[in-house]
Amino acid sequence: MSAPTVGVLALQGGVREHQFLLEGLGARVVPLRTPPDLLGPDGLRVDALVLPGGESSTIDRLLRLFGTDEPLRDAIRGGLPTLGTCAGLVLLARTVLDPAPGQGSLGVMDVAVRRNAFGPQLDSAEMDLTTALGPARVAFIRAPRVETAGPGVEVLARRGDAIVGVRQATATGIAFHPELTGETLFHRRLLADATGASQAA
Ligand code: GLN
């Protein structure tokens, strides 16, 4: 397969760092804002999806404003390989704990996620994590944590007792930012999922 095309949701938040990392891994990156960015006459325009960090309540509001929420939900439920980082994890969650007023989510992963879960002292930190994909150097910035996960959800990473990485079917949600430290592990896995490869290149 030729280079996969990855749609990075570009309504708000840290888009460029994902783009830089993905292009470095050989992917083509397109910004996603409106439904036609995602869906063309012949079906999905992208092979994979990234939901970046940022402010989840703002991204949620803009998703609904542009009408992009429903097609995204359908695409992810339909098996589009997806990586959500930080606010992106919040958007994937079925339940958002401590939401902003009126905040919803895409609700495609069977997890309950608490926003800003690490408190003011610990809310931003760079660290080495042991993950199911291997060791990873990542950054936490006002990060959420997963409080409950359904039976179909695989835990990929913990920070202390807190679940900070999950996978369900083709969707992966991580509470941290690998793209800010240049950690390629999760993006390589996304591209491997997109191309149907069994291992990241
Ligand atoms: N605290 C933010 C939120 O709830 C997430 C922060 C981030 O994406 N770095 O949306």
Question: DSSP letters along 5-42, please?
Answer: EEEEE-SSS-HHHHHHHHHHTT-EEEEE-SHHHHEETT
Active site residue 179: yes
What pLDDT shows up at residue 116? Answer: 93
Q: Is 158 helix (H, G, I), strand (E, B) or coil?
A: strand
Query: Would you put residue 107 in left (φ > 0), alpha (ψ -120 to 50) or beta?
Result: left
- Look at residue 2 in the predicted model and tell me its pLDDT: 77
CA–CA dist 146, 159 (Å, integer): 11
- Could you identify the atom of ligand 1 that is nearest to the CA of residue 85? 8
* Per annotation, catalytic residue among 17, 23, 126, 177: 177
Ligand 1 atom nearest the C-alpha of 100 is 4
- Distance, CA of 181 to CA of 179 (rounded, Å): 6
Q: Residue 83 is part of a domain; what is its CATH number?
A: 3.40.50.880
According to the model, what pLDDT value does residue 166 have? 98
> pTM for this one?
0.96
CA of 164 relative to ligand 1 center, distance in Å: 13
Atom of ligand 1 nearest to the CA of 54: 8
Low-confidence ranges of the chain (pLDDT < 70): 1, 121-122, 197-201
Catalytic annotation present for 177: yes
Question: What's the number of domains the chain is made of?
Answer: 1
* pLDDT tens by residue, 74-108: 999 999 999 999 999 999 999 999 999 999 999 99
Q: What is the pLDDT of residue 201?
A: 39
Tell me, using a 6 A CB cutoff, whether residue 61 lines ligand 1: no
Quick check: helix, strand or coil at residue 116?
coil
Question: Does residue 181 line the site of ligand 1, with CB under 6 A?
Answer: no
What pLDDT is recorded for position 124?
A: 85
Please answer whether residues 54 and 12 qualify as being in contact, where contact means their C-beta atoms are separated by less than 8 angstroms.
yes
Q: Residue 188's domain spans which residues?
A: 5-200
